Every structure is written in C-alpha cells, then in structure tokens.
C-alpha cells in the first residue's frame, strides 16, 4: 500500500515503527543482561540458551525496524510483504536489469547501513572522538556486499522459522563475529530517530488495549 507523509496510514505506521523500536530495545537490553551473567557465572548451557534467544530476538526486531523505516521512506508498505517475490528494475554499472524484490531490498539496506556508518564516522571526527573510536568506524567501511542478505537469512533462520538447520548449519557465532558491529551502529542510528524519550509512554492503541483483556479476563493457568 502506498501512503503519503502526514496521512492517517503514516501516523499508524510511525506508531508501529516506534513500537518495534521498543521491542528491539527490550531484546538488546536482555542480551546486555545476559553478557553480565556470563561475566559473573561463566559459560553454562542455560546462559547460552538465553544469550541465543536474546540475540536472535534482537536480530529479528532490528531487521523489522529497519525494514519498516525504509518502507516509510518509500511511502510504500510493499517492502514489508512476506510474499515479495516480484521483480523490480534497477540500474547497476550503467545498465538496467530486473532483479528479485528481495535482492533489491538487500541493496537498499546495504546502502542504508553504509550511510549510517559514514554519518557516525563523520560526526565522530567533527566531535574530536578518540583515535580508537574513529579507527573502529573506519574499519567498518565499506560495508560488505553480502551483509544485508546474511542479515535477512539470520532473521529468518534463527528467529523466524523453526528449522533443523538451526542446530548444525546456521552459524550465529560467525555472523556475530563478522557483523555485530554493523548491527550496533544501525541500532544506534535508528535509536536517534525512533528512540527519543517522551514525558509519557506512547499510546499504541490496540497494542496498549491488550492489557485491558488481561484485566477483564485473566488467563486460566490452573
């Protein structure tokens, strides 16, 4: 669905993005808490379980947050479709070609990641950041061409779908070592727009109303 900035759909979409940001933040905070557990108690299977769950949830919500923000930039919710198997025309190296919509989204997300890192690096230099911080950001450029596709695959395989591949084939550890710094920069960048604190916690309408259902009909757990 196409929509205009300032329309009612846009208002609802912005609330949904804000809600997704808070879900992403909750996952990030849970992962940070698990890191503290790891430091205090060392490696256990229970902590490994919680770490995997928290990080995979962070991947899921960060990907969806970024995708929904891009959908608003384009004024079109089509990029959020689970059936985005169509094709779109893109121009690469001076030539126009048709590629799968999912591949086009990967290209856009890679570009958005590159901008996020570059903007953070520029601001760090202007602010007189430490040589260590500037080196950290500099080494993230250019963003690897396959980053967004790996990001999408991890969102699907470790957080979205239950698959046997999760046990031996899907290597979240390698993904973490290669791409966690990019996820962190994206999280910080999106936080600046969608994570601004307000005096009152947002009213997410039907999302917020869910609590009323618990008051009116508490779940039976006998």
| Cα–Cα dist 3/13, whole Å | 10
Q: Which of 33-37, 55-59, 211-215 has the lowest mean pLDDT?
A: 211-215
Cβ pair 179, 147 in contact under 8 A: yes
Position 165 pLDDT exceeds 80: yes
User: What per-residue confidence (pLDDT) applies to 48?
Assistant: 95
Main-chain dihedrals φ then ψ at residue 81, nearest 5 degrees: -65, 135
Q: What is the DSSP letter of 80?
A: G
Taking the domains of the chain in order of start, what are their residue ranges?
Answer: 8-211
Higher pLDDT, 126 or 98: 126
The pLDDT value recorded for residue 88 is: 60
pLDDT tens profile 177-197: 999 999 999 999 999 999 988
End-to-end CA distance of the chain: 44
Instruction: Check: CB of residue 69 under 8 Å from CB of residue 82.
Output: no
Q: 30 pLDDT band (50/70/90 cuts)?
A: very high
Tokens, residue 126: 């202007």
Give the per-residue pLDDT at 127. Answer: 95
Q: Determine the distance from the C-alpha atom of residue 17 to the mean position of all C-alpha atoms in its chain, rounded to a whole number.
A: 11
Is the pLDDT assigned to residue 99 strictly greater than 60?
yes
The pLDDT score that the predictor gives to residue 188 is: 97
Cα–Cα dist 122/185, whole Å: 13
Residue 83: predicted pLDDT: 55
Contact yes or no for 87/105 (Cβ under 8 A): no
């Amino acid at each position: 669905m196409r929509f205009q900035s300032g329309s009612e759909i846009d208002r609802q979409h912005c609330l949904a993005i804000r809600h997704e940001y808070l879900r992403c933040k909750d996952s990030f905070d849970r992962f940070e808490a698990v890191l503290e557990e790891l430091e205090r108690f060392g490696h256990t299977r229970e902590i490994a379980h919680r770490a995997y769950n928290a990080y995979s949830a962070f991947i899921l919500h960060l990907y969806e947050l970024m995708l929904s923000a891009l959908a608003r930039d384009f004024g079109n919710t089509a990029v959020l479709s689970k059936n985005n198997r169509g094709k779109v025309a893109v121009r690469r190296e001076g030539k126009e070609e048709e590629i799968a919509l999912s591949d086009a989204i990967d290209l856009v997300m890679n570009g958005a990641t590159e901008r996020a890192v570059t903007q953070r690096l520029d601001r760090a230099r202007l602010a007189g950041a430490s040589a260590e911080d500037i080196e950290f950001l500099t080494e993230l450029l250019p963003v690897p061409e396959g980053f967004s596709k790996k990001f999408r695959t991890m969102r699907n395989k470790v957080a979205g779908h239950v698959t046997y591949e999760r046990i031996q084939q899907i290597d979240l550890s390698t993904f973490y070592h290669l791409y966690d710094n990019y996820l962190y920069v994206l999280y910080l960048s999106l936080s600046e727009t969608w994570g601004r604190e307000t005096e009152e916690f947002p009213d997410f309408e039907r999302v917020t109303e869910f609590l009323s259902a618990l008051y009116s009909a508490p779940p039976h757990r006998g």
